[in-house]
Structure 1
Amino acid sequence: MGGLTVALIGGGRWGRTHGSILAQLSDRVGRVLWVSRHEREAVDAFVGNLPGARDRFTLVESLEAALALRLDAAIVVTRASDHAETAGALLRASVPTLVEKPLALSAGTARGLVELAAIRNVPLFIGLHLLTAPFLHHFLALSTGRPLAAVELEWLDPEQEIRHGVDKTANLTTHKVDEIMPHLWSMLQLVDDCGKLQADKVKPLARGAVEVEVAMSCARGTLRFGRRAPGRRRWMRLEFRDGGYAELDFTIEPGSIILDGVQQASFESDGKFGPLAVELAGFLDMVRLRPDVSSFPQTASRCIGSVELAEAVRAQLLLQEAGAVADRLARGGGMRDPDVLAWVVDNIAPLLDVREPRSESARAELADIIVDALEAATTSAHVNDPKLHSIITAIRQSDFFGCLTKERPI
């Protein structure tokens, strides 16, 4: 069977990560049509450094141009706000599609895509690679049969770090909930897939971090996540009803395991691919072999809960962070307070039609623009800078601004 023609849509850092993996899957992929509107030079340079990629990778200017070239499959790694529209176009063209999380920014939109996929009889998957991560399955298997009392998860990132030789920065144009909650949902699903997860309490923490209490069918869950931590942290703790516990620190995969106070042997993989490569290979094999996909863990119809939980958390967090900003300002704090600035930027930046800031100076510049626009929107002051007009309009139309001014009237 010949290699597949695959469209890779999105040229950012995560898109390039997918591109490097597709280059390794030459037994499955014959041709990659790479669609990137804003990162063409970076993508072209990246492809030039991938061994053998020049013969198999072709840069195209638009999704329409890629669709005209008879696609076998597509992988969507664009800005989160564009995922649903792009996925819809692919499904209507009957192209099997894998969409990087989140599938959509609302559960209603996600359900619409699932319905469209069913009507068109086209496979639709969500990129939730932790659902099939071997090191997580190994960790959970060590305590099979022990009733759970509680689960704790931490997912913390610094604003900027080097990952696998690539500069990784916090993507302020995607809401932190939409970026991180699908990962946490995936881990909770592996622990307990018996029912819908309920966000009971959402609490803002310092520098934009968040704590969420989740009701599960068999236990209580506590989640902490953020994008301005001193360092990277990935951690899971299970507390059992028999008084024991299990911990997995996978800050560096596959991680270290402690079971009831005793250090365990680390998971040893028998394959050459990591979780993301396993996910992409599985998706491509599904497209090539066409098995019954209904039982695949990343099938979109099985993963609507990842969007539902993120939407619920985001709605509660918006209220809580707007209240926290209003309270801090009422007590004499200013917009440049690190906590206030984080809460404001995290809620406003995803609403703006701006490029993802890739450097510390670019993030600082975006924060300055948002603060200036918010202060102008709050005071109804006249603004001479025409660049701020559209941002002020977006702010005034936002739910965050409505909640903020309700807590702290103009």
Structure 2
Amino acid sequence: MSTTIGLVGCGRWGLNHLSVLSTLRSRGFIDRLVVCDINPTTLTGLEADQTYTSLQAMMEHEHLAGVAIVTPPETHLKLAKMVLDKNLPLLLEKPLSDNHAASKTFLAELPNDSILVVGYLLRHHEGLLQTQTAAFAKAIGSIRDVVYTRRTQRMRPNGATPISTLAVHAADTIAWLLAQPLMDGEIVHAAHSENAASWRIRFPTGQTGAFDVAWATSDERRLVEIEGTRGRARIDFGSHEMTIIDSSGVVVRTERLADSEPLLAEWLHFLDSIKAGLPSVFPDIDRLLDQSEWLDINDPENGR
């Protein structure tokens, strides 16, 4: 049976998804790629087997194996409910939505047989996946501090906020690597402007996490720095390198990470979930609720 994937939303990030899906189609992972956007002009010239201006029409006319929603956050839940009501596996871009109360209701009412992957693609990044291995723990020890930096020369998109847009990956990465709920943390530093935000959080365990994110900067920086009880690690998403440093400050090794794309890895994870056919939510519901509540409280511009 052929595998048809539907993509909803063809903006800047949606086109990145489209490029990955085109690659997966050329490699035989999927057979048919159909896309949907409410703006018909956006659909012109896209490498798709069929295009639609309505999600409902796409679901009525196609035998879909799964759907990805890559639209503005305020539209996520309405579209997600349409997909899940058809019992279709769903890849939903992060954040879940811009409204915590609505996200909480959505997750509480999620059908038991749902397959839902929320797009925290750094959970599929090779360097960050290595932090979950025994070899990393041996070199670094127990993780005490995580610092996430994302500074970009791009201008701030209309309607975007630095916390709910640039820092959403930071919040998830900090909670994931420290294995701590964000809501358990105490904010010891917070600064926020139209284009930038920096935060530091201390957890009851003594662990700390921080992020520094900004648009319209003079350079590009994409880093995760991890301090452990035995050493430190620096993962540079720009140079695709991981550097391990021992407790005395000596560089133990610098490792070139494979040029694999986290978005491609995320799609392979989603396709594996579809193939398995087992109900699953990734990340888990408790983590999604924790991040949603944290964003709701800490982003001054977040929808409520």
Tell me by how many angstroms 1:213 deviates.
1.6
Match of 1:35 in 2: 36
Does residue 106 of structure 1 match 2:92?
A: no
Q: Which residue of 2 aligns with 1:265?
A: 254
CA spacing shift, 1:76–1:202, aligned 2, 3 Å: farther
- Deviations, residues 74-130 of structure 1 (Å, cap 9, x unaligned): 1000112111111122122222111100111133222222233235x2212200111
Contact kept in structure 2, 1:16 and 1:46, CA below 8 Å: no
The amino acid of 1:235's aligned partner reads: L
Q: Any residues of structure 2 matched to 1:293-332 within 5 Å, and which? A: 293=280, 297-300=282-285, 302-314=287-299, 318=300
What residue in structure 2 maps to residue 286 of structure 1?
A: 273
* Stretches of structure 1 lacking an aligned partner (at least 5 in a row): 48-52, 161-169, 319-346, 352-398, 400-410
C-alpha distance in 2, partners of 1:267/1:37?
Answer: 41
Shift of 1:292: 5.4
Distance 1:301 1:286, change over 3 A: farther
CA contact (8 A) 1:192 1:217 kept: no
CA gap of 1:187–1:99, structure 2 versus 1, over 3 A, is same
**What is the rounded CA distance, in whole Å, between the counterparts of 1:72 and 1:126 in structure 2?**
17
1:177 aligns with 2:177: no
Distance 2:98 2:91 in 1: 16
CA distance in structure 2 between the partners assigned to 1:34 and 1:232 by the alignment = 31
Name the residue aligned to 2:264. Answer: 277
The structure with higher relative contact order (CA 8 Å, sep 6+) is 2
CA contact (8 A) 2:233 2:242 kept: no
Which of the residues 219, 228, 233 maps onto 2:216?
228
Match of 2:151, as an amino acid? Answer: L
Distance change in 2, residues 1:136/1:231 (3 Å): same
Q: Identify the match of residue 122 of structure 2 among 113, 130, 147.
A: 130
C-alpha contact (below 8 Å) 1:235/1:250 kept by paired residues: yes
For residue 133 of structure 1, report the CA deviation from its aligned partner. 1.4
Q: Is the 8 A contact 2:65 2:89 kept in 1?
A: yes
Q: Aligned partners of 1:251 and 1:312: how far apart in 2? A: 31
- The whole-number CA distance in structure 2 between the counterparts of 1:5 and 1:149 is 44
After superposition, the C-alpha distances for 1:175-211 in whole angstroms (9 at most, x for unaligned) are 2222123211232133222444435145335663111
Match of 1:13 in 2: 12
Hey, what's the Cα distance between the residues in 1 that align with 2:228 and 2:269? Answer: 33
User: What TM-score do you get using the length of structure 1 for normalisation?
Assistant: 0.64
Give the 3 Å change call, closer, same or farther, for CA 116–107 of structure 1 in structure 2. same
Identical counterparts, % of pairs: 18
Q: Is the 8 A contact 1:9 1:34 kept in 2?
A: yes
On the 8 A contact 1:135/1:267 being kept in 2, the answer is no
Note if contact 2:127-2:242 (Cα within 8 Å) is conserved in structure 1.
Answer: no
Q: Which residue of 2 aligns with 1:152?
A: 147
Count of residue correspondences: 293
C-alpha RMSD over aligned residues: 2.6
Question: Which structure has greater helix proportion?
Answer: 1
Q: Secondary structure at the match of 1:94?
A: coil
SS in 1 for 2:146: strand
Listed as ranges, the gaps of 5+ residues in structure 2 are none
Is the Cα–Cα contact under 8 Å of residues 199 and 212 in structure 1 kept in the other structure? Answer: no
- Structure that is richer in strand per residue: 2
